[in-house]
Amino acid sequence: MSARSQKPLEEADFEVIEIGTGADPKWSPDGTKLVYVYKEALYVANADGKGEKLRIAQLPTGTLSFDWLDSIQFIVAGRETRQEKAKRRFHEWIKILTLGGEVKLIAEDRRIVSPPIFLNDGTVGYYWQPNGGAFKDEKIFQIIKEGRLSPDSAQKQLFAPNIGPDVWLESVDGSIKKKIASKYYSFPQLSKDGTKILAVCGIICGMCVLDFQGNHTCIGKKPHQYIDPSDSAKISQWSMGPPQAKLSPDGKKIAYAYVTTKSLGEDNFAFLGSDIYIENADGTDRKQITDTPDAMEGNPVWSPDARRIAYTDGTTSKIYVIKIE
């Protein structure tokens, strides 16, 4: 199977590998495997498409997110609703699943105020508050897995929390805070090299890369609209930004889906198809890496070496890996 890049004066073919049926693929730290969800259970498959798929375990009820913790463990986060006196309250939980299917409870408390946070040195942790409250209130970072840096140094690392229409950079321990941009921004994604932020940019250009002075570079194929002559319905095409769009591990490229939708009236629409594109973080050298107009390809995820991308086809529920180098 191949997918064709569409670029003026140049055509390129990319090798595509079918992994299996499922959703939400995540690369292992060494780039040799993928974990994904199928029928509410975690499965692991080889990234070359060969060999058997390994069923790890049924995901706990209320699961909201999962990822690799290391080469043999997965971190899973979710919530459940509990009756407390006259009120029903959300209780967040974080668990670890092993390759052997063992489940370990790490934390379970309504005072947990963040999903697991993955820092650039490999440290993994979460925020909790002694007295509950909102994310912006005083909080404590609890380390689950240490990275390359010592715990004190690790908490000086910067990340970009999603806390409203502004983009901030702040250190994990809260000692450093810097506003990068105001209004119209959401879903900030700090590059692993710590030099740039990918975000949804609202009315500015949909998706953009920000430097730390707040200057922006628009990313993505331009939106386009036209009328379907068969039924006069409006057709819209647009680039899907983060959290679905992803910066490559080296911070040099961005992968995203370009989506086509059809208006059904009264703010309703139907997805007609989508393809995967990659683009340099400075807005140059855009390439279409899949060309299947009737398929719903999306959720691109970079391999650790930035040479492959895993993605899903919402039409068939298949997961694929495409080699771009």
Each residue's pLDDT tens digit, 129-149: 877 665 566 788 999 999 999
Written as one string, the DSSP assignment of 230-299 is TT--EEEEEEE-TTTSEE-TTSSEEEEEEEEEEEEETTEEEEEEEEEEEEETTS---EE----TTSBEEE
Domain count, the chain: 2
Domain boundary among 189, 218, 247: 218
Report the pLDDT value the prediction gives residue 135, as an integer from 0 to 100.
57
Residue whose C-alpha is closest to residue 260's, from 268, 251, 270: 270
The distance of Cα 69 from the centroid of its chain, to the nearest Å, equals 16
Report the pLDDT value the prediction gives residue 11, as an integer from 0 to 100.
40
Report the pLDDT value the prediction gives residue 8, as an integer from 0 to 100.
36
At residue 225 the predicted structure's pLDDT band, cuts being 50, 70 and 90, is confident
Residues above pLDDT 90, as percent of the chain: 62
Q: State the residue for tokens 């999962």.
A: 66
Report the pLDDT value the prediction gives residue 208, as an integer from 0 to 100.
94
pLDDT at 4 over 60: no
Residues 188 and 244 in one domain: no
191 domain-assigned: yes
Report the pLDDT value the prediction gives residue 93, as an integer from 0 to 100.
93
Residues 253 and 270 in one domain: yes
Is 0.85 surpassed by the pTM of this model?
A: yes
Residue 173 amino acid letter: D
Q: Determine the Cα–Cα distance for residues 71 and 64; give it in Å rounded to an integer.
A: 21
DSSP H/E element including 140: strand 140-145
Q: Which domain holds residue 210?
A: 158-218
60 domain-assigned: no
DSSP H/E element including 21: strand 10-21
Q: Determine the Cα–Cα distance for residues 312 and 24; give it in Å rounded to an integer.
A: 7
Domain boundary among 168, 199, 218: 218
Report the pLDDT value the prediction gives residue 134, as an integer from 0 to 100.
58
What is the rounded average pLDDT of the residues 302-320?
A: 96
Residues 186 and 273 in one domain: no
Each residue's pLDDT tens digit, 158-206: 999 877 788 999 999 989 899 998 888 889 999 998 999 999 987 778 8
Q: 137 CB contacts (<8 Å, ≥6 apart)? A: 129
pLDDT at 269 over 50: yes
For the chain, give the mean pLDDT. 88
Residues 234 and 304 in one domain: yes
1 domain-assigned: yes
